[in-house]
Amino acid sequence: MNIAVYPGTFDPFTNGHKDLVQRAATNIFDKIYICVAENTKKDAIFSMAERIDLAKKSLAGIKNIEVIGFSGLLVDFAKELDAKVILRGLRVVSDFEYEFQMSSMNKKLNENIESIFLTPSESYAFLSSTLVKEIAELGGDISRFVSPEVKEALKAKYK
């Protein structure tokens, strides 16, 4: 079975994330674990439980995926899940530098893990969780960028 992990903080989960998962689940992998990271270095507006719940709701209907939380080293968690691939998205050139560094380090930590990078669909190339949060905080319309559940959750956070 061809299993991948797709890690991230997903604060919040966007339509860009969903697009990447949908394409990878349909065309490339038998199973994808969407791994919501407990990242203590970032100030998340949603708790880990909320981020997991919102990702599950955003991805409803995609059969070969599972959303789970994790902490610790991703390569160790991937090994526990019997995943051989780390799936990541690349939007802009600056993403590549960071992702290349992470990919190289992950390979040093576990030589059996591979990283695969997908570029977003053109309609989501500009989209980031940070931008979505900024627009939501300023009262802008984010309905094209996130699921209805994420939109309502952000609205509630920024009331």
Q: CATH number of the domain at 36, please.
A: 3.40.50.620
Arithmetic mean of pLDDT over the chain: 94
Question: What one-letter code names the amino acid at 117?
Answer: F
Residue 30 has pLDDT above 90, yes or no: yes
Residue 87's nearest CA partner among 45, 155, 25, 147 is 25
The active-site residue out of 58, 103, 129, 147 is: 129
Q: Inform me whether the pLDDT recorded for 58 exceeds 70.
A: yes
Angle, CA of 63, 68 and 73, to the nearest 5°: 130
Catalytic annotation present for 104: no
Q: What is the pLDDT of residues 65-107, one digit of tens each?
A: 999 999 999 999 999 999 999 999 998 777 788 899 999 999 9
Q: How many domains does the chain have?
A: 1
d(CA 28, CA 43) in angstroms, rounded, equals 33
d(CA 28, CA 109): 25
Point out the catalytic residue in the list 56, 57, 91, 157: 91
Domain that holds residue 105: 3-157
